[in-house]
Amino acid sequence: MTAILYPVAANAELAMASPMGRAAREREALAVAGGEAVVFATDPTGPAFATREAAVATYGGLLDEPWRRLAEQILPGQRPTHAEPVFEDGRRWPVPPATPPRTAWRLMVSYWRIGTAERPIETPQARRVRRAGQPLDPDTLRAIAREPLRPVEPQQPLDIGLFEVRPPDAPHIVMPDE
């Protein structure tokens, strides 16, 4: 399995149009960026579409690359309601709302983003802040809670299967495990 080469750029639009280069890992992205700080990011780009079919018709062949995909997002200004269990009349959950929140389909681009003055590298992830043990003020804690979950690093491709092992005396050999 080959590694995915993600574009290295300052923003998602540049990653689509004219990236500085491509890299699979952070150290490669640092080399492409000339030593500037990079972070793995997935950002929306382009217009929003009402249906998936409309987005596929517009982007077509662009979706063949694994670092570009379509995602459905709730439109801004709406608050999804959280369901509380009711435990009434043999039902655990209430009847869902008649009108779900309005959504739109956007093109999501995964790339190595270069830190720039207009958009510096974000603050550390919540798990890193928590491990540091520093007290957080309520506003910072709310801001971290509103951030989407981000991977620490891109998922690496598997080099062996689920039921295969490498023996300790010969790590260059892959054997089936029974």
| 15-22: Cβ within 8 A, 24+ apart | 15/109, 15/111, 16/45, 16/62, 16/68, 16/109, 19/111, 20/114
Percent helix, percent strand, percent coil in the chain, to nearest 5 = 25, 25, 50
What pLDDT was estimated at residue 122? 60
Q: How far apart are CA 42 and CA 73, in angstroms?
A: 14
Task: Give the residue, 54 or 140, on which the prediction is more confident.
Answer: 54
pLDDT in tens, 59-81: 988 888 889 999 998 888 877 77
pLDDT in tens, 111-155: 999 976 456 556 556 777 777 777 777 777 777 776 666 666 666
| pLDDT tops 80 at residue 17 | yes
What pLDDT was estimated at residue 86? 84
Percent above pLDDT 90 for the chain? 26
Measured CA distances, 5 to 12, 45, 66, 160 (Å): 15, 19, 9, 20
